[in-house]
Amino acid sequence: MKTTIIALVALVALASPAFADERGIDDFPEGKGREETANLCAACHSGRLVSQQGMSRAQWDETLDVMTERHKMPKLEGDERTLILDYLAAAFPPKTRRGAPNPFLK
Ligand code: HEC
């Protein structure tokens, strides 16, 4: 009986999308720096908060500073900053909801 309950709980956990993508990083596209970015950014909030955004490299750069200044993220510098910034800019570029380029974000 106990085993059945454990098996059922495991099944429900596996079937539930909330558990399947606990960190909200399933929609992070493959690419160099994906793991590093996901591990850092999804430590404090859902990865979805990141993947919902579409920003230029300069805007992502600013976001990193905001995370450090306002939210106490460890300051990113050097190669690590470049890696994560390159990933963010390539993975989540400026876009409209439908994925078309936004003409106002030139
Ligand atoms: C030390 C904790 C921490 C880390 C690490 C962190 N953030 Fe945040 N971030 C926050 C908090 C707190 C908020 C605002 C509250 C919320 O909505 O959860 C936030 C909000 C955001 C927002 C929403 C816009 C805004 O200004 O509120 C974006 C975009 C964002 N973070 C991007 C990132 C990215 C990209 C990374 C990885 C490079 C990252 N964050 C890492 C704490 C963090």
What domains sit in the chain, N to C, each tagged with a CATH number? 2-91 (1.10.760.10)
- The tens digit of pLDDT for each residue in 16-26 reads 655 679 999 99
pTM: 0.81
CA of 62 to the centre of ligand 1 (A): 12
CA distance readout (Å), 60 to 7, 56, 72, 88, 101: 43, 6, 16, 7, 17
- Which residues' Cβ are closer than 6 Å to ligand 1? 40-41, 43-45, 49-50, 53, 63-64, 66-67, 71-73, 84, 88
Residue 40 binned pLDDT confidence (cut-offs 50, 70, 90): very high
Q: How many Å lie between the centroid of ligand 1 and the Cα of residue 104?
A: 24
* pLDDT at residue number 17: 57
Q: How confident is the model at residue 70 (pLDDT cuts 50, 70, 90)?
A: very high
Report yes or no: 5 and 27 within 8 Å, Cβ to Cβ: no
92 φ/ψ angles, rounded to the nearest 5 degrees: -130, 70
